[in-house]
Amino acid sequence: MEYDQHTSRCKMEVIHIFIQEERNLWLNKKYTAAPRKYDYLKVGKLTDTFVVLDFETTGFRPLENEIIQYGLVEYENGRVVNEKSQYIKPDFGIPRKITSITGISDSTVRNSPGIEEVIEELYCSLKDKTIVAHNAAFDMKFLLQNLAEANIEHGRFGVIDTLSFARRYIRNVPNHKLPTLKKVFDLDSGHSHDALNDCRATGKLALLLYEKSLKEF
Q: Is 15 a residue whose pLDDT tops 70?
A: no
Please tell me whether residues 54 and 96 are part of one structural domain.
Answer: yes
Q: What is the pLDDT of residue 217?
A: 41
Please tell me whether residues 65 and 47 are part of one structural domain.
Answer: yes
Q: What is the pLDDT of residue 23?
A: 79
Q: What is the pLDDT of residue 16?
A: 54
pLDDT of 16-28, one tens digit each? 555 677 778 888 8
DSSP-assigned letter for residue 192? T
Please tell me whether residues 110 and 190 are part of one structural domain.
Answer: yes
Separation in Å, CA 151 to CA 33, 138, 170, 211: 8, 20, 40, 39
Please tell me whether residues 75 and 107 are part of one structural domain.
Answer: yes
Report the alpha-carbon angle 138-143-149, nearest 5. Answer: 130
Please tell me whether residues 110 and 181 are part of one structural domain.
Answer: yes
How far apart are the C-alpha atoms of 28 and 126, rounded to whole Å?
28
pLDDT of 72-125, one tens digit each? 999 999 999 999 999 999 999 999 999 999 999 999 999 999 999 999 999 999
Determine which of 2-11, 16-25, 30-39, 116-125 has the lowest per-residue pLDDT on average: 2-11
Nearest to 159 by CA among 78, 52, 85: 52
Q: Which of 61 and 3 is assigned the larger pLDDT?
A: 61
Nearest to 85 by CA among 27, 50, 125: 125
How far apart are the C-alpha atoms of 44 and 204, rounded to whole Å?
17
Please tell me whether residues 96 and 185 are part of one structural domain.
Answer: yes
- Look up the CATH number of the domain holding residue 119: 3.30.420.10
Three-state SS letters, 111-128: CCCCHHHHHHHHHHHHCC
Range of the domain at 18: 1-33
Please tell me whether residues 6 and 46 are part of one structural domain.
Answer: no
- Give the pLDDT band of residue 5 (cuts 50, 70, 90): low
Q: 192: how many CB neighbours lie within 10 A of its CB? A: 16
- Return the SS3 of 83: strand
| CB of 61 closer than 8 Å to CB of 27 | no
Instruction: Report the number of distinct structural domains present in the chain.
Output: 2
Please tell me whether residues 204 and 108 are part of one structural domain.
Answer: yes
Please tell me whether residues 92 and 191 are part of one structural domain.
Answer: yes
Q: Is 216 a residue whose pLDDT tops 70?
A: no
Please tell me whether residues 20 and 80 are part of one structural domain.
Answer: no
Please tell me whether residues 18 and 117 are part of one structural domain.
Answer: no
Query: Taking the alpha carbons of 188, 190, 193, 196 in that order, is the dihedral positive or negative?
Result: negative
Please tell me whether residues 18 and 95 are part of one structural domain.
Answer: no
Alpha-carbon Rg for the chain, nearest whole angstrom, is 20
Nearest to 211 by CA among 42, 46, 50, 73: 46
